[in-house]
């Protein structure tokens, strides 16, 4: 009986501690269960696999009992994701990162099963980095953090094929209007830094046109749920889709 769980950014070894047994009760999980990371996986960082990357991918394969599914974020080496070999999973193509870690492609819709049946997920990774002025292109920042026009269009085409109805939307960033709502709720004066993200604006349109239950995203390094309960921002929380419980650090 599979479970689907979701969590926010990992940033390589920086936040991988959220998967320790002290923070995450993963007893009873196996490789038929799925943990979805909502962007900034961060282990595919250097041009070629580093010792740190190989160590942690081996940990996900050999020590983590679950299968890991990755939505790409903005802090990723976006030159490496397109080079991943394609694998047929969940009714579409995913990129194989390792034996039990897979990349969910931008613009695709996946049917992922759990104990309650199969659920449809619309995926669009990427986001605009507000810190790129302090990063180096091709080393710590990549232009392909923003989806291409073709990837945006593929997403719209797939949603149209599905009659603009999916169970869930999963991404790295949320709709611009929802992020603005969040920033207002915490009284943060950051809107001038976040209102230029084309991915967030894309989701304003997608969410307005699509019939869906909930949207899950990361990016903002906080845990927050919109007042209507439809938009879930995740960071250290690990959410069980089956019962909406959360486990992890606040």
Q: Are 169 and 199 in contact (CB under 8 A)?
A: no
Domain hosting 79: range is 4-248
The CA distance from 50 to 29, in Å, is 28
Q: Are 222 and 231 in contact (CB under 8 A)?
A: no
- Indicate left, alpha or beta for 11 from its phi (over 0: left) and psi (-120 to 50: alpha): left
Task: Using the predicted structure, report yes or no on whether residue 51 has a pLDDT greater than 90.
Answer: yes
Number of domains the chain contains: 1
Q: pLDDT class for 246, splitting at 50, 70, 90?
A: low
Q: In 3D, which of 124, 220, 236 has the Cα closest to residue 179?
A: 220
Tens digit of each residue's pLDDT (9 = 90 or more) over 90-106:
999 999 999 999 999 99
Phi, psi of 235 (to 5 degrees): -135, -85
Report the CATH number at residue 223: 3.60.21
Tens digit of each residue's pLDDT (9 = 90 or more) over 2-16:
899 999 999 999 999
Q: In 3D, which of 167, 142, 143 has the Cα closest to residue 230?
A: 167
Tens digit of each residue's pLDDT (9 = 90 or more) over 155-170:
999 999 999 999 999 9
The CA distance from 34 to 191, in Å, is 34
Helices (H) and strands (E) in the chain, counts: 5, 14
Mean pLDDT over all residues of the chain?
94
Upper half-sphere CA count for residue 143 (Cβ side, 13 Å) = 1
Q: pLDDT class for 189, splitting at 50, 70, 90?
A: confident
């Amino acid at each position: 009986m599979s479970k689907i769980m979701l969590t926010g950014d990992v940033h390589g070894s920086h936040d991988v501690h959220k998967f320790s047994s002290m923070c995450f009760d993963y007893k009873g999980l196996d490789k038929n269960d799925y943990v979805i990371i909502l962007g900034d996986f961060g282990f595919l960082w250097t041009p070629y696999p580093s010792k740190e990357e190989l160590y942690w991918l081996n940990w996900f394969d050999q020590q983590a009992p679950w299968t890991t599914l990755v939505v790409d974020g903005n802090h990723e080496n976006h030159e490496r994701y397109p080079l991943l070999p394609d694998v047929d999973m969940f009714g579409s193509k995913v990129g194989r990162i390792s034996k039990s870690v897979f990349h969910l492609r931008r613009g695709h819709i996946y049917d992922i099963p759990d104990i309650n049946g199969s659920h449809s997920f619309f995926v669009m990774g990427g986001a605009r980095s507000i810190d790129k002025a302090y990063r180096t292109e091709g080393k710590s920042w990549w232009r392909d953090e923003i989806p291409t026009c073709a990837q945006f269009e593929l997403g719209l085409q797939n949603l149209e094929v599905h009659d603009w109805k999916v169970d869930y939307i999963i991404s790295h960033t949320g709709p611009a209007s929802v992020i603005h709502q969040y920033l207002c709720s915490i009284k943060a004066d950051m809107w001038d830094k976040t209102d230029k993200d084309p991915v967030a604006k894309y989701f304003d349109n997608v969410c307005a046109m699509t019939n869906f239950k909930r949207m899950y995203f990361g990016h903002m390094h906080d845990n927050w749920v919109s007042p209507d309960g439809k938009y879930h921002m995740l960071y250290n929380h690990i959410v069980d889709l089956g019962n909406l419980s959360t486990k992890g650090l606040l």
